[in-house]
Amino acid sequence: MRILWMLLTLLLPIGAPAAAMPQRDVLLSRPVTLPDAHVVTRVIRVTFPPGFRTPEHIHKGPGPRYVLSGRIRVIDREGSKIYRQGAVFWETGEPMVAENAADGETVLLIFEMAPAQATEAPRRRGKIVIRPQP
């Protein structure tokens, strides 16, 4: 092994610039108790049109949410909070409402962890269109 190491160091160019290491920032860290041994994880991109507000709803699995662009207002039992582009927040899976708080579209990434049975959606025909509520 020592000979292999010596050969490798001889073969490497002398004075070669070291490659820059990527910057790594932890945006959110949270312990999670999984509801089942079989969990399906999904990454879902949601685009909220201007003025859109969801009805109160519950997601099948908790997880982090990341605001790619715009602003999202989340109303839940904790109150109302606005998250801006670049923000990460934790959604618990409790009842909540999400509202586009920007003038234009808001794009959100949802990282969902749900029991495998809960993610089996019925088959739908056609395209679902989300329209702003009056």
Read off the pLDDT of residues 79-115 as tens digits, 9 standing for 90 and up.
999 999 999 999 888 899 999 999 999 999 999 888 7
Place of tokens 């109303």: 75
What pLDDT does 39 receive? 84
CATH homologous superfamily for the domain 42-119: Jelly Rolls (2.60.120.10)
User: Is the pLDDT score of 72 beyond 90?
Assistant: yes
What pLDDT does 89 receive? 94
Domain map (residue ranges) of the chain = 42-119
How does strand 106-115 pair with strand 63-69? antiparallel
Task: Give the Cα separation of 104 and 71 in Å (integer).
Answer: 9
What pLDDT does 16 receive? 57
E strands within the chain? 39-48, 63-69, 71-76, 79-84, 88-91, 97-100, 106-115
SS3 of residue 14 by DSSP: coil
